[in-house]
A and B are shown apart, each in its own frame.
Chain A
Amino acid sequence: MVFRKEDIIVSTIARILIPFIQLYALYVIMHGHYSPGGGFQGGVILGASMVLLLLTRGHDEAKYKIPENMVITLSSIGVLIYAGIGFLCILLLGNFLDYSKLAVLLHVDPAHARSLGILGVEIGVGFAVMAVMYSIFLDISTGGVLPEDEEPEEGTEA
């Protein structure tokens, strides 16, 4: 198993590190316009921070902080933000993903509206990637059998 008994050094360091990792991830998402980075990279880093939480605190605690249903909801919401912004452009009589039409809503010039549209899209990507990375790791590390259902699985363990 990936999850071990709690170790005080590891868990303390993780507790100190996780907020900074998340802060950095947010910076990467938000600063994607001016420097390398963007929704995908930032999302992966956010997902990594959640994976770190899962690894150091074990599943029981991670389950309270990040419930399983919330992970799926978040991944849906991420793609929905992206597709929703695109769809909003259709409602504003533009083509799909034509962010310049958002200028009407945001009261800025079209180029600026596109810039903000890109930001919104990146946030959506970030959400989706974060949730999905965590979800894939959860599935693969537990073999899909989540702890509340877990029983000694000796048959398949080498």
Chain B
Amino acid sequence: MIEQAPALIVIIPLLCAVLSPLVGRIGKNVGYVWVVLTLASSTIFAFITLKQVITHGVVHYRMGGWLPPWGIEYVIDHLNAMMLVLVSGAALLVALYSKRSVEQELPDKTVYFYTVFLLQVTGFLGIVITGDVFNLYVFLEVASLAGYALIAIGEKGAPLASFRYVVLGTVGACFYLLGVGYLYIVTGSLNMADLSNLLPALYGSKVVLVAFAFLLVGLALKMALFPLHVWLPDAYTKAPSTASALLAPLMTKVAIYVMLRIMFTVFKPYFSIEILPVTDIMLWVGIIAIFAGAIMALAQVDFKRMLCYIIVAEVGYMVGGVGVANAIAIKGTILHILNDVVMTLGLFAVAGILTYTMRQHDLSDFKAFFKKMPITMAAFVIVALAIIGVPPTCGFFSKWYLIQGAVMAGAWSYVVALLFSSLVNVILFFRIFEIGYEFHASHDAHGFDHEVSQVIQEAPLSMLIPTVIIAVLIIMIGLYNQPIIAGIIQHAVPKL
């Protein structure tokens, strides 16, 4: 059964998603248990695959038994395997976390919510695992459609935000498809490995240049890179908290993963770096994204919206890291993908708890949180320190590699941008800590008491435990970053 593990990672969530509307009819909590079990088994198979990749090297899996250029092939190397564990693990944590929040926000739609939730995860896993550019498009659409639906059922204004996402997301997917079409017409192949063999002979061709540009622009739309990020803040702010906790960490990172795949596997690294000066453009776009995201995050009064702009800045980190284009910076980028999934998950988990207890998510709702929910706030402090980049947490190490790479490449403006963004994060989060401490002040400032009860009312356990796990993970990844880099990420860095 071991050699079938790669297929099972995707097939199990797919089969269970299809079964879930039927299973959901049995009882009230069955849907929740079903999702958790599904994702747990998917995570187990992802770990098995990761272990196989670490011990035996790249794993190939042929769908239907056909040879690669003719059939569809899974190619799982270290980068893939890491992303698989990350996606399925993060989805499992979100699923564990979702119970109370879904019951509160969508009481009569839990069955269909969990169905679409599983389909969303299936889409992400399918994108990450595949070795075929068109198959990637199909699963990109599965993930996008599920994402549109998950966002549209949020609070007031969510359908409009979701509609904007539909329009821009479709443009992104169509640009990707056009890029694939342009590649297909000159090579006749859709398999990534085959393409990367065929393309070097055609690097001067105008068709290939245009295809590359369209692939990158399409993915930039999906990953909300700065000038194209307009759909993101509204969509993730207004989505239900479980949906934003699933989408916000994973959607952008999966798109960044695909970008790495396109730039360094389908095209050879020297094409992306030397023949076309794409990386220079990406460096500058990344820097602008970091500044813009950080400054706009400062201006927000809504907690979730502030987090959305932090995501925009984080996307800037990773795109800029690829733009620096040396091995250390790309190592930092891949480590940052890992860290950012965990950190963003933590932030949105806290946002979900805030929404659950206060029914809204303004910054002022944090009032007296240290008194009311000490454990949640302790977890939040750890996540915030990681976002800022304080040493024992994981956020520090990826930033360290990014800065180290930038210094070696002489990209000082990128270093400045990173430091500036860390500084802004300090301001953002210490402002929240301050709000969390003050609770008598409100009485004086507004003239009436917001009936801040001083009794400890911790969040429900089903929400608290995943949040604490995330906080522990952040510290663990920070402490064990060397083994992770040596075992996995070192091999995932493309040979430049």
Q: Is there a direct interface between A and B, measured as CB atoms under 8 Å apart in the complex? A: yes
* A positions within 8 Å CB-CB of B: 69, 72-73, 76, 79-80, 83-84, 86-87, 90, 94-100
Given contacts A83-B14, A87-B15, contact A96 B22 (CB under 8 A): no
Q: Contact between B63 and A97 (Cβ–Cβ < 8 Å)?
A: yes
Q: How far is the CA of A150 from the CA of B18 in the complex (A)?
A: 29
Query: Smallest Cβ distance from A143 to chain B, in angstroms?
Result: 13
Flag if B18 contacts A76 (CB, 8 Å).
Answer: yes
Closest partner residue, chain B, to A69 (CB atom):
B25
B1 nearest in chain A by CB position: A90
A98 touches B65 (CB 8 A): yes
B186 contacts partner chain A, Cβ-Cβ < 8 Å: no
Question: Knowing A73-B22, A76-B22, A90-B7 touch, does A99 contact B15 (C-beta < 8 A)?
Answer: no
Q: Which residues of A contact B19 (CB under 8 A)?
A: 76, 80
Is B61 interfacial (CB-CB < 8 Å)? yes
A79 CA / B20 CA spacing, docked (Å): 12
Residues from chain A with a CB closer than 8 A to the CB of B21 are: 72-73, 76
In the bound complex, residues from chain A placing their C-beta under 8 Å from that of B11 are: 83, 86-87, 96
Residue pair B65, A94 in contact (C-beta under 8 Å): yes
Q: Which residues of B contact A94 (CB under 8 A)?
A: 65
Return 17 A-B CB contacts under 8 Å, by A number: A69-B25, A73-B22, A76-B18, A76-B21, A80-B15, A80-B18, A83-B14, A84-B15, A86-B11, A87-B11, A94-B65, A95-B61, A96-B4, A96-B7, A96-B11, A96-B63, A96-B64
- A99 touching B22 in the complex, CB below 8 Å, given contacts A83-B11, A83-B14, A83-B15: no
Closest to A80 in B: B18
Instruction: For the complex, give the distance between the alpha carbons of A90 and B65 in Å.
Output: 11
Cross-interface CB contact of B65 among A69, A76, A100, cutoff 8 Å: A100
A98-B65 Cα distance, complex, nearest whole Å? 6
> What is the distance, in angstroms, from B371's C-beta to the closest C-beta of chain A?
43
* Interchain CB contact under 8 A, B65 and A79: no
- B443 interfacial by beta-carbon distance below 8 Å: no
B15 contacts A95, C-beta separation under 8 Å: no
Report A-chain residues with C-beta under 8 Å of the C-beta of B25: 69
* Cα A72 to Cα B111 with chains together (Å): 12
**Chain B, interface SS category:** helix
* Segment 51-76 of B: residues with Cβ below 8 Å from A: 61-65
Please tell me if the beta carbons of B7 and A95 are within 8 angstroms of each other in the complex. yes
Bound complex: CA A105 to CA B196 (Å) = 40
Is A97 within 8 A of B15, CB to CB? no
Q: Are A90 and B64 in contact (CB under 8 A)?
A: no
Q: Within the complex, what minimum Cβ distance (angstroms) separates B267 from chain A?
A: 29
Given contact pairs A76-B21, A95-B64, A99-B64, enumerate 4 new A-B contacts (beta carbons under 8 Å). Answer: A83-B14, A94-B65, A95-B65, A100-B65
A100, closest chain B residue (CB):
B65
| Interface core residue of B19, B21, B65 (most chain A CB under 10 Å) | B65
- Cα A80 to Cα B11 in complex, Å, equals 11
* Chain B, Cβ-Cβ closest to A114: B64
Provide the bound-state CA to CA distance between A96 and B21, in Å.
Answer: 24
Supposing A86-B11, A96-B7 touch, asked if A79 and B61 sit within 8 A by C-beta, the answer is no
- Closest 9 CB pairs between A and B? A98-B65, A97-B64, A96-B7, A79-B18, A95-B65, A76-B18, A98-B64, A72-B21, A83-B15
Least Cβ–Cβ distance between A148 and chain B, in angstroms: 15
Q: Which chain A residues lie closer than 8 Å to B8 at the CB level?
A: 90
Residues of A within 8 A of B65 (CB): 94-95, 98, 100
Chain B residue with Cβ nearest A97: B64
Instruction: Please indicate the chain A residues that have their CB under 8 angstroms from the CB of B14 in the complex.
Output: 79, 83
A17 to B485, CA, bound (A): 66
A104 → B minimal CB distance (Å): 14
Chain A's closest residue to B20 (CB) is: A76
How far is B64's CA from A96's CA once the two chains are assembled, in angstroms? 6
Chain B residues closer than 8 Å to A98, beta-carbon distance:
64-65
* Interface residue ranges of B2-27 to A (CB < 8 Å): 4, 7-8, 11, 14-15, 18-19, 21-22, 25
Task: Quote the shortest CB–CB distance from A76 to chain B (angstroms).
Answer: 5
